[in-house]
Structure 1
């Protein structure tokens, strides 16, 4: 997904109010407009491929970070910070040969070797929050593919394969909860095929999401068992407590990044702009005074605003994040559109008519539901509405994913299913060369739109833990050129 017309610092505010592209007709441009106009990012014009993350984005990231860190604390996983730079090899023309690390194995593992001297030093479990630079990235997309991004990376060492394997699944489940419970984004839990696993690892567990607008899968987060590959490379070893020589540690690494925010935007956003789940929204409720005009006396206006501020105070005591929009020079309708573009989950309106009836009018962002709440019940009713919004957003996204996850038993049905914006579960032999051939067979030469991306070949997304059923005895791999027996139902799709 690339962009033809990025917004720049030179554009006047009047030119960039409102979303001009539609999600259905120009998804890439729609996405770019939403993340910029809603105030999530700004293009860093000095260097291509870099973005300024604005407070709205950083609030979401901070909420995710706090939630995840609290669970790491419960698991007694320590927090660390290793340097940005590592020594560069072969750069003889540099006075100080250093490079920026793409990931931290080469920086961290020499110290694991130093710190782990006995089996009593295991497990060693560390996590760090930092930024990563991937300069090889050509086409960049905010959040999804950037030259610098924020992430957490956990690196752990264990005495046995079993202990490492338990942690891999524990972390994967935390990532799944982060997506489903905070971001209202459904994911499929599974294992990567040998072709798709982390190249330096033993096996990779993954979460796979789905973008309904273009039918593409997207990797959400990964939890890798590295096996003993890196421990042998960096000599992370201990004496076997059973007394049979030295043992190399079993290692894991796991990470999620600001990509999760982009996934959330693509799934929930609409043609009005951003749509935020309440649990990560910087502003959960915006209160807008209405019905104030030139005939309204100063006393009546002040009385109305005092009531609004009193309601905000009450809601904030309940832990809700509330704003009162008293900006001058803007009509209520303009404010409604502005807050809708920014994705605020719940809008409350309060005017003279509402005051007389002792109610507050409300509008739900994601489905435009409208109604009134008695002022006396505003606290519990607002809390209930926000929880219902969170649930409804997840249910809507989960239904879309479920309806577009097709179980396919006939090869001729594969390409039509992909063209109908589905991902597919097929019986697969798990052979790497067969997987490459499937991608070739499903690549179409003609351009079907979305800048050609829809016609890309499908690749394996994961082997889902939850299989649609047993592979019956004697069933062949779905690839018409393959004579091997199918081993697992495997999720394939066009993907990011």
Structure 2
């Protein structure tokens, strides 16, 4: 256990902040609620960005960029949208030393301004579909900020598409939900439940919202990505109208979908431990560190260091450019060098000391389990990728087992309250209530409907209203 990190069991919130600080991921900015993402944290975001971006482009989407400032009148065109976002908006009222005729909102999300632009670009069914994504920052004035999880300004991507038919738009919404699910599970080793949001948790202005919900290591839920079927609401508000194949005028069917730097917080809280950050190998910007060790400075500089660089170059051919580093912090003790990389979450430490030199091997140490293995120099190209894949799989399986062990079923509200108080985690229950019932449950327990799982169409008696025909829902306390 690291002395510079508060143990999870002692104070989970402080543990989380300590991991971020020690791993040098982010720091607080001088503007309340905002953060500075430090180079190692930003490298993780770039890894997320590049891998997600490739998946978006494989599904036919192109990147574009839209303005930071949105006319305040745009938000007022869609009633649910303005009601949902108004409390979080930051508004610009002065510029160039003068009061503006119309205030501008710093974008909390971009459906309105993109809807306006689409109305200028779409005249015929031949102009559809439009499949656009943008990588940008947004601002939602946060009263209770927490690094990566909830900050007033954060980085994200937001996809916005327009289609000629309802069926195409629904297919797009669910397709992008699956893109998120596969990325989160395959790259982040983050097991997620995909489902539809309840009426009370739906995105403002959407007909349907679909979500990826993950369980953190304190058994709370975290929404890590959403995909929205907007129907024709924003098309009618901004007149995205077109002549269809039959020659009649129609409104486009639109979608939006997004995920953010919150994913970094999810990775921290899912995989990390009391020693610091743990990164899944497919996500980690640096997958392995080679550490030459010797008390003989000449041998260190003339023999071990060159060999370490040679092996690192070979490994990069197998793992990718800049995925392996060589530690030359020779002014530090070996233990301090080990601990530095351990706390930053680098998946694999490869030690090259004089004993290893004499036997032509490396000593490999896994970050997740501290398991050790000797690798011959001739086998590094195959052995290191194998170990990293084993670690990737183990991290996912461990997180999945934790979620399953902390998922319960409730048949009554009393049982529901008891499970929340004694166990926490995810609680499955049949639910036939509406917004009023959701609000009452939240006021009584602080738990919310996280989603109605997509892979379960069963019906049963509602645990709260006692009505028949309730859908299976997952409830949890959430970030």
**TM exceeds 0.5?**
yes
Deviation per CA, 1:149-203: give whole Å up to 9, x if none: 0011111111111100101111001111121111111100100011111121110
Q: Does 1:163 align with 2:171?
A: no
Secondary structure of the residue aligned to 1:232 is helix
Calculate the TM-score normalised by the size of structure 1.
0.88
Q: Find the counterpart in structure 2 of residue 192 from structure 1.
A: 197
Check 1:349–1:229 CA distance in 2 against 1; reply closer, same or farther (3 A cut).
same
CA RMSD of aligned residues (A): 1.8
Task: Please list, as runs of the form range in 1=range in 2, the aligned pairs for 1:71-470 lying within 5 A after superposition.
Answer: 71-88=55-72, 94-95=99-100, 97-135=103-141, 137-213=142-218, 215-243=219-247, 245-290=248-293, 292-293=294-295, 296=296, 298-299=298-299, 302-320=302-320, 321-419=323-421, 420-441=423-444, 443=445, 457-467=446-456, 470=458
Q: Are 1:18 and 1:341, in contact at CA under 8 Å, matched by a contact in 2?
A: no
Contact 1:64 1:178 (8 Å CA) reproduced: no
Matched length: 453
CA distance in 2, matches of 1:60, 1:488: 38
Shift of 1:337: 1.1
Q: Deviation at 1:22?
A: 0.8
SS of corresponding position for 1:302: helix
* 1:336–1:107 CA distance, 2 compared to 1 (3 A): same
Structure 2 equivalent of residue 490 of structure 1: 473
Return the match for 2:8 from 23, 30, 37. 23
Is the partner of 1:166 in helix, strand or coil?
helix
Q: CA deviation at 1:19?
A: 2.9
1:61 aligns with 2:63: no
Structure 1: which 5+ residue stretches go unaligned? 1-16, 444-456
Supply the distance in 2 between the matched residues of 1:251 and 1:273 (Cα, whole angstroms).
Answer: 42
TM-score, normalisation: structure 2: 0.91
SS of 1:226 mapped into structure 2: strand
Please say if 1:36 is aligned against 2:10: no
The 10-residue stretch of structure 1 (71-80 or 325-334) with the greater mean CA deviation from structure 2: 71-80
Report the CA distance between 1:50 and its aligned residue. Answer: 1.4
> Matched residue of 2:132: which SS?
strand
Q: Does structure 2 retain, via aligned residues, the 8 Å contact 1:139–1:145? A: yes
Structure 2 residue matching 1:95: 3-state secondary structure:
strand
CA distance in 2, matches of 1:105, 1:303: 59
2:5–2:276 contact (8 Å) kept in structure 1: no
Question: Displacement of 1:299 after TM fit?
Answer: 4.2
Shift of 1:355: 1.3
